[in-house]
Amino acid sequence: MDFGFQDKNGFRGGRFGSVTGTIVDMVPARMGGRRSNGCIIYVTMEDMDGNTVVFLLAPTTYVVDFDTLSVGMRCTFWYLMDAPMVLIYPPQYNAVAAAQEKNGRMVNVAYYDNDLVNDTQTLQLNLDANVDVRTINNQYFQGSPANHNLVVTYDNSTRSIPAQTTPRKVVVLCD
């Protein structure tokens, strides 16, 4: 079984896990015994089964459509499954991406190969000149999104295996 790998430059080829739930608290992360400057936020959420999960929302976390997250919002957070993590309860993950749940909008975070098929073989991208391809800081991505970790936002897909879609937006998670 391929669990991806994490190289010395970042998270190329990593496998992503996700948690969907409702945000119940958001507080600035503490640095030592004092408050931080507000750049890193602890987001506490309750998942679908009532379990508590904490995500670190950093300046490098991509928030889909640049939505402002808030308490009471239903969201999905993605994290690297093979990244080091603190063994505490509730579990605490570094958020790679986050998205507010919205009707009709689907989001997939995964590594996409040379054929633009994700690592779980469940989604294939059909890119045309109208697809908006960006970096996490909203700049136009100048290369090919193939062989990168991507955040793909789309509205519909085929029922084939893998499903195919022409995405609304693709964000490249550069290493």
Q: What is residue 36's predicted lDDT score, i.e. its pLDDT?
A: 67
Tell me how far apart the 2 most distant CA atoms of the chain are, in Å: 53
Please tell me the pTM assigned to this model: 0.87
Cβ-contact 123, 157 below 8 angstroms: yes
Cβ-contact 92, 125 below 8 angstroms: no
Question: Which residues of the chain fall short of a pLDDT of 50?
Answer: 1-11
Q: What is residue 9's predicted lDDT score, i.e. its pLDDT?
A: 35
Q: What is residue 55's predicted lDDT score, i.e. its pLDDT?
A: 96
- For 6, the enclosing helix (H) or strand (E) is none
Q: What is residue 38's predicted lDDT score, i.e. its pLDDT?
A: 79
Sign of the CA dihedral running 82, 87, 91, 92: negative
Q: What is residue 4's predicted lDDT score, i.e. its pLDDT?
A: 37
